[in-house]
Structure 1
Amino acid sequence: MRVVVTGASGNVGTALVRRLGADQHTVVGISRRPPDLPGIQWHTADLSSDEGSAELVRAFDGADAVVHAAWAFQPSHDLNYLRRIDVGGTRRVLEAVGEAGVPHLIHLSSIGAYAAKRSEQPVGEDWPTDGIATSSYSRHKAAAERLLDAFEGGSTVVTRIRPGIVGQRSAGSAFLRYALPAVVPAKALDLVRVLPLDRALAVPVVHADDVADAITRAIERRIGGAFNLAAAAPVTVDMVAAELSARNFHVPYAVLRGLLAASWRTHLQPLSPGWLDLAYSVPLLNTARVERELGWRPKVLAHVVLHEIVEGLREAAAARTPVLRPRSVVSQVTEAFRSGPVARRRRT
């Protein structure tokens, strides 16, 4: 099958490209900055602008399926840019899918599209996708879901993949850029002895390879609808503390949020407080439908996903793509000098 992947150079995209290639599918990648990777046909398109729409139609022509995995996380202070690429980019992909007559669209949605939990009971795919109002990431994921609602009903089968937090070792450098100030080295994690977090944290996670497995199954069976993806158990504060060899010191969520918001507004670090709101609001996920319809089971347990994430952070692990490129203090400071801090970086 010929499968086109937007965001093919990112966290989920690289795992999906590996899986599709191993299964002998023809893979076409869409990226703003195509990497030099063998075995993939690349098209350059900027999803934040209508100027990239014609290239999308050309790339989608003759495709058996399109996987829309492109998403922007930074600059967190430039919400107009994030909305242009996350929501506007989704609209452009849908329009190109329709114009090219692609029979199957797989959209990488997120646990972040869901409304806040009301209990610790896992929710199914019928849970409202209204998002968390204080998280721009969540608002944009919910807005993309509304675009899919309007698009459905035609000749294209639409599949929505809603994973928990997606991790793999090679995303370590990317996670560091999203979350830490430029001058903080990865090895600083080794110095953490006290973890100041509210004990109520419980976040579903899933390995990137398991997400790729579910997407591939959906492509090969051409099954539509929404699918939750998560390892059997969520990640908790105690698990994070153990992985860091640290001791948890309970700090109420409201205090944490105030500190995070103040440091973000003053540009001391790039992580907006909406991410904390999301972490403490997302529901646990019921994965019965994907297990029943696609025969999917997560191969990587939650504590192993967490271990890969932490080890990837410690080692600033990377891959051969611009999105997952190596991160160091020197490279971060150099980029900040040339283009501004990542949270408000100028786009070229």
Structure 2
Amino acid sequence: MRIAVVGATGNTGTALLEELHSRPEVSSVLGIARRLPELDATPYAYADWKTADIQFADSVQNLAEHFADVDAVIHLAWLIQPNSKRELLRRVNVEGTRHVLQAAATAGVKHIAVASSVGAYSPVEDDEPRTEDWPTEGIPTSHYSVDKAAQERVCDEFETAHPEITLARIRPGLIFQGRAGAEIQRYFAGRWAPVQILKTLRPPMVPMPAGVRSQAVHARDVASAYAEAVLRGAHGGFNICADDLLDGETIAKVVAHRDKTRASIALPAAPLRSLVKAAHRMHLLPMDEGWLDMATRVPIMDNSRAKAELGWQPTMSAAQALDDLIEGLGEGSGESSIPMRPRTTDATQKYPLPAADHLMEDDDVDVTLLRQYMADHLSGATAGLQRIRAMADDFIDTPVYARLSEVAVAIGDEHDFLAELMKRQGFPRPGLQAPLLWVGERVSRLKPYGRPPFTRSPSAMVLEAELMMGAVTAKKHGWTVLRCFTDALGVPPEVFDELSAAADHQRDALEQVHRYARERAFRTDRETFVPGN
């Protein structure tokens, strides 16, 4: 059986690639994602790869072509952030599901599994276990839950129109695994949350919202459920969760590494909700208050149907899965895809560096001048990195987002390499110049481009792409200069050749962004920021 996995680079998708690779019934796997992972890295090397952005209507034809030779489709793609762009989330999550299902039907796929969630269920006020026939109307105060309920309606419509296709709706609880630690931190706690202290220090007491209780499942176990669903041609909803319940005290004991003594401090739910809401509105916390509402109002799921019809069993308890996640949060663990990237990257893994005690000494090289030259480039690289990250954030709802995001990740790796190279050479960090460039880059974003402040002008993408193309060109010249001093720097010349080639690829990607923008920005009959226009 050949299986396509849409959204194969995230938490569940990464575990699913490993699961399908271990199944003798699976002949091959097609991974589909908006942004490709490192294709030679495990487990992404287990799949063939195609790109698609499912939010746009024209993705249906593209997906149908990808699905032409597959027997089953597993749809996992779901956008959690940014919360502030509700139209974007709805378009990706709800309409994107519709597009994937339409494409699968067009291609003649016979078995489909869709990632639903416990969040799709209607709220409850008790801890009575519910089976899969509990209503899926969602929790109105949670955008995630509202969209999951809307996704269920899309599945209802599809089943009515295509009774010949088996459609399984996998409804897991919280999905944990250690190597998703950095991803989960970015989505819920934010990049500045000091979760790294969990690596060496566990708090003796943990504040917990009163009334919180959740069910969880390890990513490996939920991956097994998806595999069983498509291999067996299962139909209908399936609750997927471990058998134990995570209440506030249990969660606190896992975090604190305590067994018998009390570890939680109960916090009143209402004031905490207001605090989370305020922190989210001030952009201090990615998670909004809707996630707290789900944590106290979703039903407890009965997982007996999955055990009986899928032959599924959890291999890890919810507490064990949470403990694995806590370890991953402390380590900042991740994998070789953009969604799963670790909290910090080791520059030595991608680009070889000299020994930590290597100091540049060469009678034929003016070390002071070369140091200043590298410091100037690092200052510019810092400003450029901020600009490309801002571009990716600003244009996340456009068809060029994937290219911008990939360029931002690559530039970030190169920035880390240059900073580490200077550190190992004993070079001082940039002084006043770097913060001045940083401030200048921030101020430059306030240009109205002929439009009112704080609104996007259609020409913004054109000008921003031009600025970044210039920066990337300057960066390539910098690598060319440093290649002349490889012996003194202790870096193989091939490293700078690779960095120069990467700059060419980045400029090509930015040229595609520029082409998209310039064909729209100055016309009255086409809009830059309208999807599919």
TM range (shorter): over 0.9
SS at match of 1:50: coil
User: Are the aligned partners of 1:202 and 1:280 in contact in 2 as well (CA < 8 Å)?
Assistant: yes
Instruction: Supply the distance in 1 between the matched residues of 2:5 and 2:226 (Cα, whole angstroms).
Output: 11
* Residue pairs, 1:12-51, within 5 angstroms: 12-24=12-24, 25=26, 26-35=28-37, 36=39, 37-51=44-58
Q: Determine if the alignment matches structure 1 residue 294 to structure 2 residue 310.
A: yes
Amino acid at match of 1:202: R
Say which of 193, 216, 224 aligns to 2:227. 216
- Of residues 108, 111, 117, the one that matches 1:104 is 111
Q: Which protein is richer in helix relative to its size?
A: 2
User: 2:267 and 2:346 mapped to 1: Cα distance?
Assistant: 33
For residue 92 of structure 1, report the CA deviation from its aligned partner: 0.5
1-side partners of 2:183 and 2:237: how far apart? 27
Letter in 2 for 1:210: D
1:166-195: CA deviations, max 9, x gaps? Answer: 111111010010122333343144464442
Residue aligning to 1:133: 140
Distance 1:268 1:236 in 2: 26
Letter of the 1:167 partner, please give it: F
Shift of 1:81: 0.9
Which stretch shows the higher mean deviation, 184-193 or 286-295? 184-193
Q: 1:157 aligns with which of 158, 161, 166?
A: 166
Alignment match, 2:101: 94
> Which structure has more RCO (C-alpha within 8 Å, separation ≥ 6)?
1
Distance apart, 1:322 and its partner CA: 1.1
- SS of 1:66 mapped into structure 2: strand
Structure ranking higher in strand proportion: 1
Residue deviations 1:308-330, cap 9 Å, x none? 11111111110111110012499
Hey, what's the Cα distance between the residues in 2 that align with 1:182 and 1:318?
14
Q: Deviations over 1:170-227 (max 9, x none)?
A: 1101001012233334314446444222232110101111111111112121121111
Relative to structure 1, is the Cα distance of residues 104 and 329 closer, same or farther in structure 2, using a 3 angstrom cutoff? closer
Deviation digits for residues 145-185 of structure 1 (CA, Å, limit 9, x no counterpart) = 00000110422111110011011111101001012233334
Q: Which runs of structure 2 are paired with 1:1-348 in the superposition (5 Å)?
A: 1-24=1-24, 25=26, 26-35=28-37, 36=39, 37-153=44-160, 154=162, 155-189=164-198, 190=201, 192-245=203-256, 247-328=263-344, 338-340=388-390, 346-347=395-396, 348=401
User: In structure 1, how many angstroms separate the alpha carbons of the residues matched to 2:255 and 2:17?
Assistant: 31
RMSD: 2.2
**CA offsets 1:74-106 (integer angstroms, 9 cap, x no match):** 111111111110011001001101111110110
Contact 1:182–1:329, Cα closer than 8 Å, also in 2? no
- Could you tell me whether the CA contact under 8 Å between 1:178 and 1:270 is conserved in 2? yes
Rounded to whole Å, the distance in 2 between the matches of 1:21 and 1:202 is 34
Amino acid at match of 2:188: A
Any gaps of 5 or more consecutive residues in structure 1?
A: none
User: Residues 337 and 271 of structure 1: is their aligned pair in 2 closer, same or farther, counting only changes over 3 Å?
Assistant: farther
CA contact (8 A) 1:4 1:60 kept: yes
Paired with 2:232 and 2:159, the residues of 1 have a C-alpha distance of 18
Does the CA-based 8 Å contact 1:114-1:127 persist in structure 2? Answer: yes
TM-score, scaled to structure 2: 0.62
Are the aligned partners of 1:339 and 1:346 in contact in 2 as well (CA < 8 Å)? no
Distance 2:202 2:256 in 1: 10
CA contact (8 A) 2:202 2:256 kept: no
Deviation, 1:54, is 2.0
Distance 1:330 1:186 in 2: 19
2:190 & 2:394 partners in 1: Cα distance? 13
Q: Secondary structure of the residue that 2:46 maps to in structure 1?
A: coil
- Does the CA-based 8 Å contact 1:185-1:328 persist in structure 2? no
Aligned partners of 2:55 and 2:204: how far apart in 1?
41
Gaps of 5+ in 2: 258-262, 348-381, 402-533
What SS does structure 1 have at the residue aligned with 2:256? coil
Post-superposition offset of 1:39:
2.7
Measure, in 2, the Cα distance between the counterparts of 1:297 and 1:216: 13
Moved over 6 A (4+): 333-336
Give, in whole Å, the separation in 2 of the partners of 1:341 and 1:202.
39
In 2, the alpha carbon distance for the partners of 1:224 and 1:302 equals: 26
Q: Which residue of 1 aligns with 2:509?
A: none
Distance 1:280 1:346, change over 3 A: farther
TM-score, length basis structure 1:
0.94
Q: Against the structure 1 CA distance between its residues 28 and 108, is the aligned structure 2 distance closer, same or farther, given a 3 Å change threshold?
A: same
- CA distance in 2 between partners of 1:139 and 1:283 (Å): 15
User: Residue by residue, what CA displacement relative to the aligned partner does 1:29-59 show, whole Å, maximum 9, x if unpaired?
Assistant: 1100111232311110011222322221111
Task: Give the Cα–Cα distance (whole angstroms) in 2 for the partners of residues 336 and 282 of structure 1.
Answer: 39
The aligned amino acid for 1:105 is I
1:284-305 deviations in whole A, cap 9, x for unaligned?
1101111111111111111111
Q: Distance in 2 between matches of 1:39 and 1:12?
A: 15
Give the 3-state SS of the residue equivalent to 1:152 in structure 2: helix
Q: What letter is aligned with 1:110? A: S
Size of the aligned set, in residue pairs, is 346
Distance (Å, rounded) in 2 between the aligned partners of 1:82 and 1:186: 27
Q: Secondary structure at the match of 2:342?
A: coil
Residues 193 and 97 (structure 1), Cα distance of their counterparts in 2 relative to 1, 3 Å cut: same
